[in-house]
Amino acid sequence: MSDMVLSIQNLKVDLPVWSDRAHAVDDVSISVREKEILCIVGESGSGKSIMAKSILRLLPEPHVRVSGGSIMFEGNDLLDVADEHMRFVRGGRISMIFQEPMAALNPLMRIGRQIDEIIEVHTSLTASKRREKVIALFDDVRLPEPERILTSYPHELSGGQRQRVMIAMALALEPALIIADEPTTALDVTTQAQILHLMKDIQRRHGTSILFITHDFGVVAEIADRVAVMRYGKLVETGTVNEVLSSPTQDYTKALVAAVPSMTPRHRPSERPENSILVINNLVKTYAARGGVFGGKSKAVHAVAGVSLKVPNGHSLALVGESGSGKSTLARCIVGLEQSNSGEILLDDINIAGLSRTELRPYRNTVQMVFQDPFSSLNPRQKVGDIISLGPMLKGTKKDKAWEDARDLLCLVGLDPKAVERYPHEFSGGQRQRIGIARAIAMKPKLIIADEPVSALDVSVQKQVLELLDDLRKSLSLSMLFITHDLRVAAHVCEEIVVMRNGVLVEQGATANIFSNPQHEYTKALLAAVPGEGWQQRS
Amino acid sequence: MQSGRLLKYIAIRLLQAVPVIFGVIVLCFLMLQLAPGDLATVLAGESGGASEAYIAELQARYGLDKPVLVQLGYYIKNIMMFDLGFSFRHSANISELLAERMLATLLLMGSTLVLSLGLGVLAGLLASLWVGTWKDHVISIVAIIAYATPLFWVGLMLILAFSIKLDWFPTSGMEDVVQFYEGWDRVVDIARHLVLPAITLSLFYLALYARLMRATMLEQRGLDYVTTARAKGLNERQITVRHVLRNALLPVVTMAGVQIGGLLGGSVVVESVFAWPGIGQLAFEALFSRDYNLLLGIFLISAILVVVINLIVDVIYVLLDPRIRVGS
């Protein structure tokens, strides 16, 4: 047992009485060995983050508190040691990296000072020595221009840079263990690949152990030595990464592994129908970035810089790109939420670019949108029935008929028709997204624009929602423009893919071709960045 | 780099203030025309009535018989030359009168601001550190009472308790004129006069800032960056002082900036209660004696004051929050 860095025994964490279950973590025993990366995998609500926080006693007490078990680390039970010793362990012996680096950094403090601080409280080094150390750390996590970053504020860095800063902070005192709580979930695919690579590299060079929490089996395949699967606060399965990924013993693990979207595109008919529901020619959308608070010199940002594409009737086209690529702006232009500067948007051969709101109204129901965040896209004060039937009622359908239709639509998307009488907050994320889909098809559209419809959902729920979209598309012969940052998801539902970067399309083609023979460097980089890519080529 | 932009920003803001203030003048001038009666009727009324002809003569003498727009034109022309006109009631040049009274008001507002912000932030901070304990409850209850009590009543009660019963502070005025104090003695005398009005005017704002500070402190303490700070091994004092405090101050500064205009309004009441010779009291008198020239001057100076203070608050905000960028 001497190679154990951290050993958690029978840990129990209580939730407040008003929550849906009594224990966030229920009798979990788990240990991290020297120099290993242990991945804890689970869906949201599995208790994985709470368990990680309880190690450093960072739980929001008194509502959520540890009620039993022990956490042994370097000969002490961390649940039992004095506060002063706990502070010595925090940052000094065990450090932590969080999911959203923007929120995890103090917005009003310079980066250099935020890292300097951890060295200051744990050592007696002088200010100049600490500064040297911080710069060495920046070098270690491959941050460019250390002098500039030292005096920057968090908002002046990119997401990837901020997470590198967090990693530098975690490394500062060469801790025995780093706890990383979904450190790449908020990042773009290519940035995620870089950060995972960096963490693995650092773990190897420094011999640190890492407890890595994630919901993504792709990430697990990429980084883990051992895996522990959690559900409802209990440990489902543990084993080496190969055991768990290739021969899981528990049904839940099997289901989770099977839910990871495969890199192999589905077989699709390759012939393209003559007509296209949507044709975009040379579309340009430019934002005038205001120079100062009051004008100043304005400079133009080309969000969409001359994009041409076609969505053939009954087809599904994936628009793939990372944040800032202009994919959402393009979608907003198509549904008329933004006015494009030039170019054509032919919807059923009618150019809708440049139409005013009133002129656009007759065409509104042709295109419907499914939004990314199922939590903010449904009005919390409206019943589900109202949400779905409001559109048809505006078009002249009688209320009784519209509600009757709403019930049928809920059946169609796999929900109980009685749901019409309930409010959105009573549903889970996946169910809400189904409501969002029902709302979109209630208008009997010809084209659905789905803007990252599954990126806010757990992997297992993702799969169900994708299947639903695919089935509906076929049975209702809809066309779909599917916007995503995840090539795996695109492969799952779309016949064709266009890859967008910095406002322009860099590559387009049939899904199978793009995957087997990518032409553009950026497409290749995106494919290489898919977490667990090697493992994905299984079967 | 940032400071150069900041200066440019200040210059732009000052330029923008010109049309704002011009608008205020025109609007106030026209609105005052809607009020019944003018200086001539008031003068006539005070001398126990007068014939129509005498009133017409008075109106002609003060230029009140000209068309409204012509009067407005004259007024604006005079302002351009920094001439605010003459107050016939006070038999004094309005610019000089305002300058003298402005000092008194600024003194009162400044001490109120320091008092309410300083003590309010401190009380809110302590309440948030003691959250849920009896000390927190005491602070919260006192704050609610202070928040709900009318200004003039607080003023009267303070006079009753501290001036009349205890005789610690003078009841009214800004200084003891008959004593002819000079130098340091005069400063002490004014300070003694200042205590009660400043406390009266601060109390409401103090309570507001205390409540706001407590709420934002508690909100900020639950945010991720505080968890990061705790995970770094900082103790609670370091977390509060280094991380939470500055973040929690931002909303309080915003609120204080918005309310400085209101402070000017509140000073009318307090200046009347304590006979503090400031702008507020002057406005009160000018209104009742239909001294519209003087009233316009007061509006003008108040508008300038609010514009300048808003600018100062914005600049402070830029210095406090690096996320706000000015200039290109």
The minimal CB distance from B224 to the residues A89, A100, A117 is found for A100
**A180's tokens:** 């990383």
Judge whether A1 is closer than 8 Å to chain B, CB to CB.
no
> Total structural domains in chain A?
2
**Distance between CA atoms of A336 and A281, rounded to whole angstroms?**
16
**Distance between CA atoms of A352 and A344, rounded to whole angstroms?**
7
Burial of A285 (0-12, 13-18, 19+ CB in 10 A): buried
B156 to A329, B146, B167, B282: CA distances (angstroms): 62, 14, 14, 20
Q: Provide the percentage of residues in chain B whose pLDDT is more than 90.
A: 16
Of the candidates A66, A82, A61, which has an alpha carbon nearest to the alpha carbon of residue B132?
A: A61
Instruction: Quote the domain boundaries for residue A291.
Output: 282-536
**Distance between CA atoms of A335 and A328, rounded to whole angstroms?**
11
Judge whether B238 is closer than 8 Å to chain A, CB to CB.
yes
Of the candidates B190, B194, B211, which has an alpha carbon nearest to the alpha carbon of residue B114?
A: B194
Q: Are A490 and A318 in contact (CB under 8 A)?
A: yes
Give one DSSP letter per residue of B61-92, joined into a string: HTTTTS-HHHHHHHHHHHHHTT---EETTTTE
Q: Are B175 and B186 in contact (CB under 8 A)?
A: yes
Same domain (yes/no): A346, A463? yes
**Distance between CA atoms of B298 and A317, rounded to whole angstroms?**
67
A contact test, residue of B224, B228, B250 with most A CBs within 10 A: B228
Give one DSSP letter per residue of A158-182, joined into a string: -HHHHHHHHHHHHHTT--SEEEEES
Q: Are B55 and B40 in contact (CB under 8 A)?
A: yes
**A307's tokens:** 């994009």
A343 to A281, A340, B121, B248: CA distances (angstroms): 6, 7, 56, 48
A122–B233 C-beta distance less than 8 A: yes
- The Cβ-side half-sphere exposure at B205, using a 13 Å CA radius, reads 31
The CATH number of whichever domain residue A286 belongs to comes to: 3.40.50.300
The minimal CB distance from B326 to the residues A87, A169, A293 is found for A293
B16–A107 C-beta distance less than 8 A: no
Q: β-pairing, A209-214 with A479-484?
A: unpaired
The minimal CB distance from A292 to the residues B223, B242, B326 is found for B326
Nearby residues of B164 by Cβ (< 8 Å), 6 or more positions away: B171
The minimal CB distance from B231 to the residues A56, A100, A108 is found for A56
Q: Residue A128: its pLDDT value, please?
A: 92
**Distance between CA atoms of B97 and B90, rounded to whole angstroms?**
9
CB atoms within 10 A of CB A387: 21
DSSP code, position B133: S
Same domain (yes/no): A352, A234? no
Burial of A385 (0-12, 13-18, 19+ CB in 10 A): buried
pLDDT bin (cut points 50, 70, 90) of residue A268 is: low
**Distance between CA atoms of B86 and B93, rounded to whole angstroms?**
5
CB atoms within 10 A of CB A197: 14
Phi and psi at residue B136, to the nearest 5°: -60, -45
**Distance between CA atoms of A469 and A430, rounded to whole angstroms?**
12
Same domain (yes/no): A318, A380? yes
User: Domain B101-288 belongs to what architecture?
Assistant: Orthogonal Bundle (1.10)
Residues 142-171 of chain A whose Cβ lies under 8 A from any Cβ of chain B: 153, 155, 166, 169
Of the candidates A342, A356, A278, which has an alpha carbon nearest to the alpha carbon of residue A313?
A: A278
Angle between helical axes of B94-129 and B134-148 (0-180°, round to 10): 150
Same domain (yes/no): A395, A497? yes
Minimal Cα distance from B318: which residue of A? A108
Burial of A374 (0-12, 13-18, 19+ CB in 10 A): buried
CB atoms within 10 A of CB A364: 17
**Distance between CA atoms of B222 and A204, rounded to whole angstroms?**
34
Minimal Cα distance from A61: which residue of B? B222
**Distance between CA atoms of A119 and B64, rounded to whole angstroms?**
76
Same domain (yes/no): A341, A487? yes
DSSP code, position A90: B
pLDDT at residue A293 greater than cutoff 50: no
Minimal Cα distance from B223: which residue of A? A103
pLDDT tens for A21-73 read: 888 888 899 999 988 999 999 888 888 888 999 999 988 877 888 888 899 99
pLDDT tens for A399-411 read: 999 999 999 999 9
Inter-chain CB pairs, A–B, below 8 Å: 90
Same domain (yes/no): A342, A471? yes
The alpha-helical segments, DSSP class H, found in B130-223 are: 134-148, 151-158, 184-221
**Distance between CA atoms of A219 and A234, rounded to whole angstroms?**
21
Q: For residue A519, give the 3-state DSSP assignment.
A: coil
Q: Residue B153: its pLDDT value, please?
A: 84
Q: Are A368 and A449 in contact (CB under 8 A)?
A: yes
pLDDT at residue A539 greater than cutoff 60: no
Whether the ipTM is more than 0.90: the answer is no
Delimit the domains of chain B by residue range: 101-288
Minimal Cα distance from A83: which residue of B? B235
DSSP code, position A426: G
Angle between helical axes of A189-206 and A159-171 (0-180°, round to 10): 10
Average pLDDT of the segment spanning A193-201? 89
pLDDT bin (cut points 50, 70, 90) of residue B95 is: confident
- Amino acid identity of residue A31, one-letter, is S
Distance from CA of A328 to the nearest CA of B (A): 25
Element holding A496 (H helix, E strand): strand A496-501
Element holding A41 (H helix, E strand): strand A37-41
Same domain (yes/no): A399, A317? yes
Average pLDDT of the segment spanning A118-139? 91
Nearby residues of A124 by Cβ (< 8 Å), 6 or more positions away: none
A296–B328 C-beta distance less than 8 A: yes
Has residue A267 been placed in a domain?
no
Q: For residue A32, give the 3-state DSSP assignment.
A: strand
- Of A258, A290, A325, which residue sits at a domain end? A258
Of the candidates A36, A29, A35, which has an alpha carbon nearest to the alpha carbon of residue A71?
A: A29
Same domain (yes/no): A371, A300? yes
- The Cβ-side half-sphere exposure at B43, using a 13 Å CA radius, reads 18
Residue with tokens 């900041």: B6
pLDDT at residue A296 greater than cutoff 60: no
Average pLDDT of the segment spanning B256-279? 82
Of the candidates B265, B305, B282, which has an alpha carbon nearest to the alpha carbon of residue B174?
A: B282
Of the candidates A275, A413, A406, A415, which has an alpha carbon nearest to the alpha carbon of residue A346?
A: A275
Phi and psi at residue A398, to the nearest 5°: -70, 150
Same domain (yes/no): A205, A101? yes
Average pLDDT of the segment spanning A298-318? 83
Distance from CA of B281 to the nearest CA of A (A): 38
A96–B321 C-beta distance less than 8 A: no
pLDDT tens for A419-436 read: 888 888 888 888 899 999
- Peptide bond preceding B36 in cis form (omega within 30 of 0): no
Same domain (yes/no): A223, A135? yes
Q: For residue B200, give the 3-state DSSP assignment.
A: helix
Phi and psi at residue A62, to the nearest 5°: -90, 0
Residues in chain A within 8 Å Cβ distance of B315: none
Q: Are A260 and A218 in contact (CB under 8 A)?
A: yes
Same domain (yes/no): A444, A329? yes
Has residue A271 been placed in a domain?
no
Q: In the 3-class helix/strand/coil scheme, how is A520-535 assigned residue by residue?
A: CHHHHHHHHHCCCHHH
Q: Are A211 and A5 in contact (CB under 8 A)?
A: no
pLDDT tens for A445-501 read: 999 999 888 887 887 788 888 888 888 888 888 899 999 888 888 888 888 899 998
A163, A166, A168, A171 alpha-carbon torsion, rounded to 10°: -130
- Single pTM value for the model: 0.80
**B152's tokens:** 């003039």
**Distance between CA atoms of A73 and A8, rounded to whole angstroms?**
9
Which is more confidently placed, A429 or A299? A429
Has residue A154 been placed in a domain?
yes
pLDDT tens for B98-121 read: 888 888 888 888 899 899 999 999
**B180's tokens:** 């002819």
> Which of A222-236, B124-138, B272-286 has the lowest average pLDDT?
B272-286
Q: Residue A2: its pLDDT value, please?
A: 58
Same domain (yes/no): A251, A322? no
Residues in chain A within 8 Å Cβ distance of B225: 103-107
pLDDT at residue A374 greater than cutoff 80: yes
**Distance between CA atoms of A77 and A58, rounded to whole angstroms?**
15
Distance from CA of A160 to the nearest CA of B (A): 17
pLDDT bin (cut points 50, 70, 90) of residue A179 is: very high
Nearby residues of A230 by Cβ (< 8 Å), 6 or more positions away: A28, A40, A41, A42, A46, A47, A48, A51, A236
pLDDT at residue B321 greater than cutoff 90: no
CB atoms within 10 A of CB B84: 22
The minimal CB distance from B243 to the residues A89, A106, A296 is found for A106
The minimal CB distance from A291 to the residues B224, B238, B328 is found for B328
Which is more confidently placed, B222 or A539? B222
- Amino acid identity of residue A147, one-letter, is E
pLDDT tens for A62-115 read: 788 888 889 999 888 988 899 899 999 998 899 999 888 889 999 999 999 999
The minimal CB distance from A104 to the residues B225, B234, B322 is found for B225
